[in-house]
Amino acid sequence: MLQDTPTLEQYLQAADDIASRGVTALSAAADPDALEAARVQFLGDRRGEILALQKALGTLPAEQRRDAGRAFNDVKTKLAAALEERRTTLSRGAAKSLHIDLTMPARHRWVGGKHPVTIVIDEIVGIFRELGFTVALGPETESEWYNFGALNFPADHPAMDLHDTLYIGDGALLRTHTSPVQVRTLQRHEPPIRILAPGTVFRRDPFDASHAPAFAQIEGLAVDEGISFVDLKATLTHFAQRFFGATRTRFRPSFFPFTEPSAEMDVECRLCGGRGCSACKGTGWMEILGSGMVHPAVLEAAGIDSERYTGWAFGMGPGRIAMQRYDLPDIRILYDSDVRFLEQVAE
pLDDT of residue 250: 93
Positive/negative CA dihedral, 160, 162, 166, 171: positive
Cβ atoms of 6 and 14 closer than 8 Å: yes
Positive/negative CA dihedral, 255, 258, 264, 270: negative
User: How far is 316 from 195, CA to CA, in rounded Å?
Assistant: 14
Question: Averaged over 114-125, what is the pLDDT?
Answer: 90
Checking if the pLDDT of 121 tops 90, the result is yes
DSSP state of 155: T
Q: How far is CA 167 from the centre of its chain?
A: 29
DSSP per-residue letters across 206-219: --SSS--SEEEEEE
Residue 327's nearest CA partner among 310, 307, 304, 344 is: 344
User: How far is 328 from 345, CA to CA, in rounded Å?
Assistant: 11
Quote the strand ranges of 85-225, DSSP E. Answer: 134-135, 141-143, 167-169, 172-174, 193-202, 214-224
User: How far is 205 from 211, CA to CA, in rounded Å?
Assistant: 6
User: How far is 227 from 31, CA to CA, in rounded Å?
Assistant: 83
Q: Which residues have CB under 8 Å from 2's CB, separation 6+? A: 10, 11, 14, 52, 53, 56
Q: Could you tell me the CA-to-CA distances from 145 to 45, 51, 312 in Å, in that order?
A: 71, 77, 21
Q: Convert the pLDDT of each residue in 252-294 to its tens digit.
A: 999 999 999 999 999 888 778 778 887 678 888 888 899 999 9
Q: Convert the pLDDT of each residue in 215-232 to its tens digit.
A: 899 999 999 999 999 999
Weakest-pLDDT range from 265-269, 318-322, 332-336: 332-336
Which one is predicted more confidently, 307 or 276?
Answer: 307
DSSP state of 111: -
Cβ atoms of 180 and 221 closer than 8 Å: no
Which one is predicted more confidently, 299 or 278?
Answer: 299
Question: Averaged over 3-32, what is the pLDDT?
Answer: 84
- Radius of gyration (C-alpha) of the chain in whole angstroms: 37
pLDDT of residue 122: 94
Quote the strand ranges of the chain, DSSP E. Answer: 134-135, 141-143, 167-169, 172-174, 193-202, 214-224, 249-256, 259-268, 285-294, 310-316
**254 φ/ψ angles, rounded to the nearest 5 degrees:** -150, -170
Question: Averaged over 163-176, what is the pLDDT?
Answer: 87
Quote the percentage of the chain above a pLDDT of 70: 92
Q: Which domains does the chain have, with CATH numbers?
A: 8-97 (no CATH), 116-345 (3.30.930.10)
Q: Could you tell me the CA-to-CA distances from 153 to 157, 246, 295 in Å, in that order?
A: 6, 37, 11
